Amino acid sequence: MKTKKLNQQVRGVLTIYLLLILVFIGMCISSESFRSLYNITNLLTQCVPLACVAMGQTLVIISGGIDLSVGSAISVCTAVAAKLLNTDNPAQIAFGAAAVVLTGVVVGAVNGLGINMLKVPPLITTLCTSTALSGVALWILPMAGGKINRVFARFVYQKWTIVSMPLLIMLALFLIMRTVLYHTRTGVDIYAIGRDRRIASTMGVDARRTSIKTYLLCGLCAGLTGLLLACRMRVGDPTCGTAYSMDSITASVVGGASMAGGVGLLSGTIAGAFLIGMLSNIMNNLAVNQFYQYVLKGGLLVVAMIVYSISNLLEVKRHEK
């Protein structure tokens, strides 16, 4: 049974990668500007922040939760970066970078504790956190500004043709998250509470602790994303993370994660993030109005949810027979 479900998820992920490759090849053939080395390098780099935060979102979704606060957390982290990384002192830069990531972890802890200790539903908790963090970001930095140390920013975003430091950071994060999800007891527990929290608890799984861990990891990913964005812009922006809440959910669901919980693969999330990033890049190259970009992302999410709902219904009917 588990093997069949896993095979089904793997097939879904392979489908997303096939679609990603076909869209990429199609655009390379049809657009000279798209297939330029400069654009491809920028595309790969620009997709990294979304891929990083979407990995954290995927863990939460697999556990049966959702995090609507990652966008605001990213904005707060860029504001903190602008305040702490405007220095030439290496020790202060190291402290500031750690503080930015830790800010995301603290947000994750607030969400995890609120959901599991106060028994407030994930949707409500993270929505409230998002609203509060939007105010905090504007309090720290009323408008885009501040400054990130140039040497540190260049180090974080250095490139070697199509390979870049952000890609290596994303790969390192993926390997860490993959190890947690597929090779530890925590990963088994995350899938268990996502499928059925009550049954998992009766089998000895500490559902509260496991859920809190997922929000902590999601906060870690949001903090790292905020640091990456701050280094890319070299300033802080109290609203730069707004789109990442919905985009991270879309990338996770398009990549095969089920909003019902218990289903999802990180490799699929990476493909979903890069597909969304590629479509945004294509529409920017074609000068498509941003309104239509939001419509496309929303449509992708709806289509993905419909497809996975239909596949689940077909699987249930197949087992009934």
The residues, ordered by sequence, that sit 6+ positions from 47 with a Cβ below 8 Å of its Cβ are 273, 274, 276, 277, 278
pLDDT in tens, 292-307: 777 877 777 777 667 6
pLDDT at 4 over 60: no
What pLDDT score does 29 carry? Answer: 85
Mean pLDDT over the full length of the chain: 88
Q: What span, in angstroms and rounded, lies between the C-alpha atoms of 205 and 273? A: 31
Q: What span, in angstroms and rounded, lies between the C-alpha atoms of 70 and 57? A: 8
Higher pLDDT, 78 or 280: 78
Q: For residues 104-130, give the mean pLDDT.
A: 95
pLDDT at 53 over 90: yes
Q: State the pTM of this model.
A: 0.90
The residues, ordered by sequence, that sit 6+ positions from 115 with a Cβ below 8 Å of its Cβ are 65, 121, 122, 125, 211, 215
Q: For residues 103-128, give the mean pLDDT.
A: 95
What pLDDT score does 27 carry? Answer: 81
What pLDDT score does 318 carry? Answer: 59
Q: For residues 243-250, give the mean pLDDT.
A: 91
Residue 47 near residue 247, CB atoms below 8 Å: no
Q: What span, in angstroms and rounded, lies between the C-alpha atoms of 130 and 151? A: 32
pLDDT tier, 1 (very low <50, low <70, confident <90, very high otherwise) = very low
The residues, ordered by sequence, that sit 6+ positions from 318 with a Cβ below 8 Å of its Cβ are none
Higher pLDDT, 37 or 104: 104
Return the minimum-mean-pLDDT range out of 235-239, 240-244, 276-280: 276-280
What pLDDT score does 40 carry? Answer: 87
Higher pLDDT, 57 or 27: 57
SS (H, E, C) the chain: CHHHHHHHHHHHHHHHHHHHHHHHHHHHHHCCCCCCHHHHHHHHHHCHHHHHHHHHHHHHHHCCCCCCCHHHHHHHHHHHHHHHCCCCCHHHHHHHHHHHHHHHHHHHHHHHHHHHCCCCCHHHHHHHHHHHHHHHHHHHCCCCECCCCHHHHHHHCCEECCEEHHHHHHHHHHHHHHHHHHHCHHHHHHHHHHHCHHHHHHCCCCHHHHHHHHHHHHHHHHHHHHHHHHHHHCCECCCCCCCHHHHHHHHHHHCCCCCCCCCCCHHHHHHHHHHHHHHHHHHHHCCCCHHHHHHHHHHHHHHHHHHHHHHHHHHHHHHHC
What pLDDT score does 57 carry? Answer: 97
Return the minimum-mean-pLDDT range out of 2-16, 178-192, 200-214: 2-16
Q: For residues 99-122, give the mean pLDDT.
A: 95
Q: What span, in angstroms and rounded, lies between the C-alpha atoms of 198 and 211? A: 13
What pLDDT score does 228 carry? Answer: 96
Nearest of 266, 317, 319 to residue 9 by alpha carbon? 266
Question: Which amino acid, one-letter code, is at 116?
Answer: N
What pLDDT score does 317 carry? Answer: 59
Question: In the numeric block, which tokens belong to residue 251?
Answer: 């990338």
Return the minimum-mean-pLDDT range out of 35-39, 217-221, 265-269: 35-39
What pLDDT score does 320 carry? Answer: 53
pLDDT at 7 over 70: no
